[in-house]
Structure 1
Amino acid sequence: MDDEPAENISGGESGGGDFARFDPSGSGTRAEAVVDRLGEMYWQKSYGGRDGFECLVRTILSQNTSDVASQPAHDALMDRYGGGGDLAGTLAGAVQPELAETISSAGLYNQKSERIIAIADLVLDEYGSTEAFDRFVREESPKTVRKTLLDMNGVGPKTADCVLLFAGGRGGVFPVDTHVHRIARRMGLARADTDHEGVREALESAVPAAKCGFGHTAMIQFGREYCSARKPACLEDPEACPLADRCEQVGVYPETGAVIDPAEAPRSSR
């Protein structure tokens, strides 16, 4: 897999969203205190406003790959298919091998191109146009939008939640990718043996709705810089991690240099 870029694609000054300021004092839960610290380290943002269907396509392209690989695929797709005014209509009529070639940098391009064409067909059948689908994502209840997205072939919880967050602008949505899943369990913010959905439920119940969006993007950034899967910063220097005082180090053993999945850690250390 290609190396990830230094900065999360949805963070920083040019990563979308609107900068917002949230008071970090008086955090009600440990998870909120962690998110507040991440916001001070990186950014505090409110998300929303992206076109729903394009966001869905963009997130499908990002599945099982990095921003370095998926962003050029998205740009190439939009250059080739995005100028007609109705993206779903254009992609529904795309020739699959040509679309696959266009998005080849994203990996799994045959599978992803087939999914994108099928979903574009479905969007046209159910909503009539890209604009109508975008409006559905923005205006319908989050529960209904999430269920609709999850019923689409190839759309999992993380993809659905990213569309709700970045396109729908829905507060209280905390998408869980591999970074968030690892960090939340390693820090003890969720059960060590819980799955992605369990982590999402734990974080969404413990973090105020307005903070979930930047909590997601900043936690990904923290995972890239400090809390990587194999070599977390605390492994060699306990003081190297800015969140050391908030972390239970589940599955991380600086005294031996061992790092294991939190689910495999002895229960006495959880």
Structure 2
Amino acid sequence: MPDEPDENISGGPGGGGREVAFDLSESETTRAAVVVDRLGDLYWRKAYGGQGGFECLVRTILSQNTSDKASQPAHDELMARFSGGDLAESLAAADREALVDAIRSAGLYNQKSKLIIGVAEEVLADFGSEADFDRYVRKADPAAVRERLLEMNGVGPKTADCVLLFAGGRGGVFPVDTHVHRIARRIGLAPADADHEGVREHLERDVPAEACGFGHTAMIQFGREYCTARKPACLDGPEACPMADVCAQVGVSPETGDVFDPADVRE
């Protein structure tokens, strides 16, 4: 199985969530749904939710522009030093240098420490406590929650969607990171020139709601193991990739070995 940290936001054997049954025959069999169903066979089928909303927000900020293996120790150290009560209160009042020291392994620690203190202050000012914010994430209208999260400094669409998925347990949410953005366009599940939001809209439209969560985490793992940016497995022949028969190979030429960003492909 994939080599993942014991606890993280990216799924995997120990990444949280619960196993779910998913029967593609009960859903519209779009090509995107077929791809996600096969990813579920290849990796895991999990339903997510139940993480604390504020902790998930902090964890996802830590994960920006780095790997789970780098951000996980930073999250663990932050929790060891600042949890024990209301996490938002602790972080809003945190000594900046102490927070920097705690999260150093995640990289960009000066920027991330400033963002984390800022969102902590905003959560307290607007919601009153970590618990009230967590309740808002779980129970308020998902579109409203997403919009409110996007108003926070340092929170982009992927971060907002991860909070909705992993903390809110919202179905039909398909966060798009660099792996998902590349793979969805390369396979042909979204237009070659689609930006991250365009890819998200196509996947959330074409993938059954109950499969979006594991579709996101399994597609990330597929991007790490098979469909890498520079050397996708299909360059070694169709038998090397479990998605070969459903992939449009946009931007990939096994004949020449050339690999382009799908947006750079010209008809």
1-side partners of 2:88 and 2:205: how far apart? 35
Aligned match of 1:208: 208
Deviations 1:45-102 (A, max 9, x none): 111000000000000000000111100000000000012x100000000011110111
2-side partners of 1:164 and 1:256: how far apart? 42
Aligned match of 1:239: 239
Q: What residue identity is the alignment partner of 1:252?
A: V
Deviations 1:81-130 (A, max 9, x none): 012x1000000000111101110000000000001001101111111110
User: Do the aligned partners of 2:75 and 2:103 also contact (CA within 8 Å) in 1?
Assistant: yes
1-side partners of 2:265 and 2:144: how far apart? 37
User: Do the aligned partners of 1:27 and 1:33 also contact (CA within 8 Å) in 2?
Assistant: no
Helix, strand or coil at the partner of 1:15: coil
Aligned match of 1:59: 60
Q: What residue identity is the alignment partner of 2:43?
A: Y
Q: Which stretch shows the higher mean deviation, 230-239 or 185-194?
A: 230-239
Q: What residue identity is the alignment partner of 2:211?
A: K
User: Do the aligned partners of 1:7 and 1:221 also contact (CA within 8 Å) in 2?
Assistant: no
Paired residues in the alignment total 262
Q: What residue identity is the alignment partner of 1:223?
A: G
Aligned match of 2:44: 43
Aligned match of 1:102: 102
User: Do the aligned partners of 2:4 and 2:14 also contact (CA within 8 Å) in 1?
Assistant: no
2-side partners of 1:20 and 1:118: how far apart? 36
Q: What residue identity is the alignment partner of 2:260?
A: I
2-side partners of 1:13 and 1:238: how far apart? 27
Helix, strand or coil at the partner of 2:24: coil
2-side partners of 1:249 and 1:173: how far apart? 25
User: Do the aligned partners of 1:49 and 1:166 also contact (CA within 8 Å) in 2?
Assistant: yes
Q: What residue identity is the alignment partner of 1:6?
A: D
Aligned match of 1:263: 263
Aligned match of 2:3: 6
2-side partners of 1:76 and 1:158: how far apart? 24
Aligned match of 1:135: 135
Which structure 1 residue ranges, 4+ long, deviate > 2 Å from structure 2? 5-13, 24-27
2:49 pairs with 1:29: no
Aligned match of 1:70: 71
Q: What residue identity is the alignment partner of 2:196?
A: H
2-side partners of 1:235 and 1:200: how far apart? 27
* RMSD, matched Cα: 1.1
Q: What residue identity is the alignment partner of 1:80?
A: R
Q: What residue identity is the alignment partner of 2:239?
A: E
Displacement, 1:23? Answer: 1.1
2-side partners of 1:156 and 1:119: how far apart? 13
Under a length normalisation based on structure 1, what TM-score does the superposition of the two structures give? 0.95
User: Do the aligned partners of 2:18 and 2:48 also contact (CA within 8 Å) in 1?
Assistant: yes
2-side partners of 1:166 and 1:105: how far apart? 23
Structure 2 portions without partners, runs of 5+:
none
2-side partners of 1:223 and 1:14: how far apart? 19
2-side partners of 1:102 and 1:126: how far apart? 26
Instruction: Give the alignment of 1:76-115 within 5 angstroms.
Output: 76-83=77-84, 85-115=85-115
Q: What residue identity is the alignment partner of 2:94?
A: A
Displacement, 1:164? Answer: 0.1
2-side partners of 1:6 and 1:180: how far apart? 19
